[in-house]
Each structure stands twice: as structure tokens, then as C-alpha cells.
Amino acid sequence: MTEPVLFVRNLRVEFTSRRGTLVAVDDVSFDLAPGELLGVVGESGAGKTMTGAAVLGLVEPPGRIAGGEVLLSGRRIDNLPPAELRRIRGREIGAIFQDPLTSLDPLQRIGDQLVETIRTHMPLSAAHAKQRALDLLREVGIPGAAERFGNYPHQFSGGMRQRVVIALALAAEPRVIIADEPTTALDVSVQAQIIALLRRLARDHGTAIVLVTHDIGVIAEIADRMVVMRAGRIVETGVTRDVIHAPTHPYTQALMAAIPVMGRRDVAVKPQAETLLEFRGVQKSFDLSPPLLERLFAGASRRIVRAVDRVSFHIGRGETYGLVGESGCGKSTVARLVAGLYRPERGEVRYAGRRLQMIFQDPYASLDPRWCAGDIIAEPIRFHGLLSGEAAISRRVDELLGQVGLSPADAAKYPHEFSGGQRQRISIARALAGEPDLLVCDEPTSALDVSVQAQVIELMRELQQRLGLTYLFISHNLAVVSNIADRVGVMYLGRLVEEGPVERVFTAPRHPYTRMLLAAVPDLAMLGIERPPPAGEIADPLAVPPGCAFHPRCPLAFDRCRAETPALRADAAGAVACHAADMDL
């Protein structure tokens, strides 16, 4: 076996505050062979990010490395003086962080940032450094590298910025790269591209990569071996395939069981019920135009984003309708149109029920921090006058808390005293308090850890059965939608491109975009089928391509797609808006 390039032994990181000492990383050991891809996975608070920071020597006070050692190419680095550690960082060990939007200096051209980094570590002339910078940009897949060299970070899309960040990490050809959630801020199709890029770099350069992530799907796609962390400790280590298919530690077993897998559900086909909600050719635009003067004098054009473009669908009573798509596709705007937060500018939204309520994505922002849980839940009851008398309201609040798995004592607590999952339960209780017929759920589990996500989904399903609720369930996570929805709609750049029963859409997709989305879902089964990552990125919503908006990325596109927008055509198995699919029918 080759000598490990990185060697971590009994690493311990502590945070000291007046409330006592918090151990963020406890007795963590692992090693990394040259060119190896090691996945470090865990839920929030597992200490995985802090482990990466400790290896890089970037733990900030009041945190400190309290024990253990880190060896890089056989040399101990955790106790080096800052100046020497700095010389190692970038040259022998590089880093990639989560958010490409904030990782780059906004005031400097990306070329200058690259050249600066290269010349810090390599004795190259300015001209040679520039040559190397251009090579790096090409290598990470930035088209037109020579022209893009002088651009500022804000001129790049998120995916392209993350490529620049990777180029910067590679600048001095380090032997190890610590990548902390490098794909979390990206859309699934771009995530697949970045994963493919990292895999290629590890292979071509022999760079060893520690990939820190909460997403086991990403690990399954890319990592040779993996480490599972929980509460600062490593609970399981092993070859990725073994850990995923046959976890030995109970925590890992529970974690794997909680991961939503496509179609793992018995679908009982529900009888056709009366229509509760109907969208008819609904359209909603946002005007992001620059001020009038700018348009008059600088010839700037009006900028109108058509967030929702002639969308029609209906939801029957007692049904769960899933809406999926990548960022900017308009699914959240649909949610707000349903909830009445926006008015449609064209078409109509018909709602046959009495009240509706909404559940939001961010458990930290969806509860008023100044109100206690009891008052939050009671607000819809009081506002609609559903019950009279404080005693009756208080009894109802206790009952609702019980329904979502909390206790009556929680009513007096404030939002900051709850965990993310508990807050989402309070959100659900508040929504139920309004006795709605329809519940609009906008990414209700996206901000939660996998195990908590599984519980919340289970709760929602149970409540639906018990109370006969109807859900509009919006998510970017196809697996979650496949587990809860009866029918599903797929949106791309403001338009509904495909619709149908969930098992048909996910097993026999008709629209090429649906196929692309499904192909980008990480392969947890690890079938090892080589899948080329999807092409391109979502177009700027301000400049939607003419014809079929998907045609620049579509493998099936032909002339008609570039000129004519396909209509949504329905048949027994659902509906699709695609010229190519029309020809198949």
C-alpha cells in the first residue's frame, strides 16, 4: 500500500466559552492515500466542517486544536507556526468552500486572483503565471478562458464561479484538497457537473480529496472510502459501497434508512375527487427594469422576468400534488400565487375550499422570534375567531402540539429554544390551527437533516390520512416528492413541461428535461453506470431562449424547437410540452 499523504490521528477541537467547553471534534482519525477521494458525511453539528478547518489550520478563536496530530506527507503540520502553515496552505493543501458567491474577492478580476495565488507559491514570471492561470481555467471547463480572464466574479454564474474556486485551489498543484460542501449551493444539474470535474481532477492529477458533505448521494457518486461522523466522533469508516449497502453502526443504519429513495412506497391510487384548486393559464411577471432614466439615456432595456408563464393544473381534494424543478423555475411563485401572496396578471386561480395555509422552507425564519409557540399557533384561531374563550384556545393549542408530536409544555417556549425539526412541527401546527382544506408546502424539508426530514414527511403523511388534507408539495428533491406525491408537475423557466402520476413520470419520463433531472439524482444504489453529466446551466430567466426554453440543453432539439414554443398536450398518462415527444405519440 502506498504511503498516506494525509494522516490525522486522535484530532480534538474544543470551543471554550463561559458556559463551558464544547468538544466539536473528538478523537477523529483517518488517513488519505494519494489520489484517493474520501467522503466525510454527517448531519449538522457532526463536526465534519470543523475537522476540515482543523486540517487546514483555519480553526478560529475561541476554537482551538486541543489534541491529536495532523501529518501531511509525513510532516506534522498542526503545531507549525502560522507563517509556515501559510506556506503549506495553497501549495500542498488546498481548499474549496461551500458558497461560490462569497468565496471570491468581488473587487478583483478572477485572472488577477489566480495569478496572485500562483505567484505566491511558484517561482514563475508574470507571463508564465498568466499562462498557467489560463490553462487552469480551461482545465476546470470555463469556456472562452482568455476573454473571461479579465472578468470580475459577479459576471459569472454560480456553477462557473465554483469552477473558478476550484481553479484557485488547484493553482499550485496541492497534493490534498479539502472540499467543504462544494456542491450544496448549486442546482442538481450543475452539482453533477462539478462532481464529474472533481472526479476527473483526482484521476488526472493524483490529487487526494477530502469531500465534506451532508449529502450521502454525492459521496456515493464520487468517494472511494467514507467516514460517518456524529456529534464530533467518527462512528463508521469503510469502503463507500460497503458502508452504504451494509452499514454496521446503528446510527449509520438509521441514517441510510432515512434517506429518501425514488419510489420506495406503495401507491394506492386515489379515486377521482372534486377539484379543490385549479390554475388556468396563470401568468405572473416581475419587473426588474432599471430606473426610467437609465432606459432613456443608456438604452438599457426593460427587464421582465416571467416567473410563471401560462401554467394550468388542478389538484383534487385529498390529493398530494408535487411540483419539482431547479432554482428559478417558478415553483415558489406558484406557491405564493396559490396562497394569495401574489395576484396573477393573467389567467385565474380557483380555490373551492374555505381556508388554506402555508408551510415554508426556512424553519428559522418562519416563526416570529418574539412570540412564544403557543401564541404563534393560536394566531390563526384568534384571527378567524374559530374558538372563543382563552381556555378553549389553550386546549386546542395543546391538542395541536400533541398532533405534531410536541408536548403542551412547549407552548410557553420561544422559537430559539427549539431545533430545526421541532420548529417545522410548530409551523405545521400553526397551519393546522387555521383548519385549512389545502396546505401549500414550499420546500418544507429542504433545510432539515435527512433523519429529521424523514420524520417530518412521515408526520405530514399521517396528518393527511387522519384529517383528509390536500397538499401542494414543492421541492427540488425528486426522491422526497416521489415518496409523498400522488401526481407531479415538472417546471422549467416558468413553464410546466410535464405532468402526470408520480410513478409514471419518474419511471417513464417523456420530457427530456425530466429525464435530465432524473439522471442527475445521485446514484445511491451505486450501480456504477457511467452517466454523462447534464449539459449547460439554466438560462438567465431575464433572457429565456425563444421557442422551447430547454432547447439549448436538449439532446433531441431540432429546428422547430428553436422557433415554436411547444404546448402542453394531455392524454391518459399525463401531459407533456415537447415537440420531440409529440412525434413519438
Partner 1 sequence: MIAFVLRRLLQSVLVLGVVALVAFGLFQFIGDPVNNMLGQDASVAERARLRASLGLDDPVVLQFLRFIGHAVQGEFGMSLRNARPVSVLIAERLPATVELAFSAAFVALALGIPLGIFTALRRRSPVAQGVLALSLLGVSLPTFVTGILLVMVFGVYWDLLPTFGRGDVVDLGFWQTGFLTLSGLQSLVLPAFTLGLFQLALIMRLVRAEMLDVLRADFIRFARARGLPERKINYGHALRNALVPVVTITGLQLGTLIAFAVITETVFQWPGLGLLFIQAVQFADVPVMAAYLLLVALMFVGLNLAVDLLYYAIDPRLRVGGFRGRA
Partner 2 sequence: MSAWTGWRDSDLWHGFVGSRLTVVAAVVAAVLILGALFAGLIAPQNPFDPLSVNLIDALTPPAWQAGGEGRFLLGTDDQGRDLFSAILYGSRLSLLVGVASLVLALVLGVGLGLLAGYVGGVVDAAIMRVAEVQLTFPAILIALLISGVARAVLPAEEHGRIAIPVLVLSIGLSTWVQFARTVRGSAMVERGKEYVQAARVTGLGPGRIMLRHVLPNVLNPVLVIATISLGNAILTEATLSFLGVGAPPTEPSLGTLINKGSAYLLSGEWWIVLFPALVLSLLVLAVNLLGDWLRDALNPRLR
Residues that bind partner 1 (CB under 8 A): 56, 58, 86-91, 94-95, 97, 99, 102-108, 116-117, 120-121, 151-152, 154-157, 165, 168-169, 171-172, 290-291, 293-294, 296-298, 300, 539-540, 542-543
The listed partner (partner 1, partner 2, none) that binds 424, CB under 5 to 8 Å by sort, is none
Rule CB under 8 A: say whether 367 interacts with partner 2. Answer: yes
Residue 141's CB is within 10 A of a number of other CB atoms, namely 17
Q: Quick one: cell of 172?
A: 499550485
Rounded to the nearest whole angstrom, what is the least distance from the CB of residue 158 to partner 1 in the complex?
9
The listed partner (partner 2, partner 1, none) that binds 296, CB under 5 to 8 Å by sort, is partner 1
Task: Select the residue interacting with partner 2 from 7, 15, 279, 360 (CB under 8 A).
Answer: 360
- Which residue number, 168 or 580, has a Cβ lying nearer to partner 1? 168
- State how far the Cα of 63 lies from the Cα of 57, in Å rounded to an integer: 11
- Which residue number, 147 or 266, has a Cβ lying nearer to partner 1? 147
The listed partner (partner 1, partner 2, none) that binds 370, CB under 5 to 8 Å by sort, is partner 2
- Residue 475, SS3 per DSSP: coil
Rounded to the nearest whole angstrom, what is the least distance from the CB of residue 221 to partner 2 in the complex?
32
Closest C-alpha among 53, 72, 448, 450 to residue 212: 53
Task: Select the residue interacting with partner 2 from 196, 339, 349, 518 (CB under 8 A).
Answer: 339
- Which residue number, 98 or 366, has a Cβ lying nearer to partner 2? 366
- Which residue number, 159 or 434, has a Cβ lying nearer to partner 1? 159
Handedness of CA 86, 91, 97, 102 (dihedral sign): positive
Task: Select the residue interacting with partner 2 from 427, 445, 453, 514 (CB under 8 A).
Answer: 427
Residues in 262-291 that interact with partner 2 by CB under 8 A = none
Count of residues engaged in binding partner 2, rule: CB under 8 A = 25
Rounded to the nearest whole angstrom, what is the least distance from the CB of residue 202 to partner 2 in the complex?
36
Residue 308, burial from CB neighbour count under 10 angstroms (0-12, 13-18, 19+): buried
Task: Select the residue interacting with partner 2 from 100, 182, 434, 509 (CB under 8 A).
Answer: 434
Rule CB under 8 A: say whether 340 interacts with partner 2. Answer: yes
Q: Do the beta carbons of residue 468 and residue 249 sit within 8 Å?
A: no
Rounded to the nearest whole angstrom, what is the least distance from the CB of residue 326 to partner 1 in the complex?
16
The listed partner (partner 2, partner 1, none) that binds 365, CB under 5 to 8 Å by sort, is partner 2
Rounded to the nearest whole angstrom, what is the least distance from the CB of residue 103 to partner 1 in the complex?
5
Rule CB under 8 A: say whether 383 interacts with partner 2. Answer: yes
- State how far the Cα of 542 lies from the Cα of 498, in Å rounded to an integer: 22
> What is the helix (H) or strand (E) element at residue 310, kind and residue range?
strand 304-316
CB proximity list for 54: less than 8 A, separation 6 or greater: 11, 13, 25, 65, 70, 78
Q: Quick one: cell of 23?
A: 468538544
Task: Select the residue interacting with partner 2 from 103, 252, 366, 514 (CB under 8 A).
Answer: 366
- Which residue number, 162 or 455, has a Cβ lying nearer to partner 1? 162
Question: In this structure, what are the phi and psi dihedrals at residue 14, rounded to the nearest 5 degrees?
Answer: -120, 150
Rounded to the nearest whole angstrom, what is the least distance from the CB of residue 64 to partner 2 in the complex?
17
- State how far the Cα of 368 lies from the Cα of 379, in Å rounded to an integer: 11
Task: Select the residue interacting with partner 2 from 331, 430, 476, 553 (CB under 8 A).
Answer: 430
Burial code of 566-577, b = ≥16 C-beta within 10 A, e = fewer?
bebeeeeebbbb
Rule CB under 8 A: say whether 123 interacts with partner 2. Answer: no
Which amino acid is residue 330, in one-letter code? Answer: G
Residues in 437-456 that interact with partner 2 by CB under 8 A = 440
Residue 89 per-residue DSSP state: B
The listed partner (partner 1, partner 2, none) that binds 264, CB under 5 to 8 Å by sort, is none
Helix then strand then coil, % of the chain, to nearest 5 = 40, 25, 40
Burial code of 319-341, b = ≥16 C-beta within 10 A, e = fewer?
bbbbbbbbebbbbbbbbbbbbee
Rounded to the nearest whole angstrom, what is the least distance from the CB of residue 168 to partner 1 in the complex?
6
Task: Select the residue interacting with partner 2 from 362, 435, 503, 523 (CB under 8 A).
Answer: 362
Per-position x/- string for 477-506, each x denoting binding to partner 2 as judged by CB under 8 A, each - no binding: ------------------------------
- State how far the Cα of 65 lies from the Cα of 59, in Å rounded to an integer: 8
Going from the C-alpha of 103 to that of each of 138, 166, 197, 210, 470, the distances in angstroms are 20, 11, 19, 19, 42
E runs forming strands in 333-448: 346-351, 356-359, 438-442
The listed partner (partner 2, partner 1, none) that binds 447, CB under 5 to 8 Å by sort, is none
- Which residue number, 87 or 346, has a Cβ lying nearer to partner 1? 87
User: Which residue stretches of 81-139 are H helix?
Assistant: 82-88, 110-121, 126-139
Interface with partner 2 (CB under 8 A): 18, 336, 339-341, 356-358, 360-362, 365-370, 379-380, 383-384, 427, 430, 434, 440
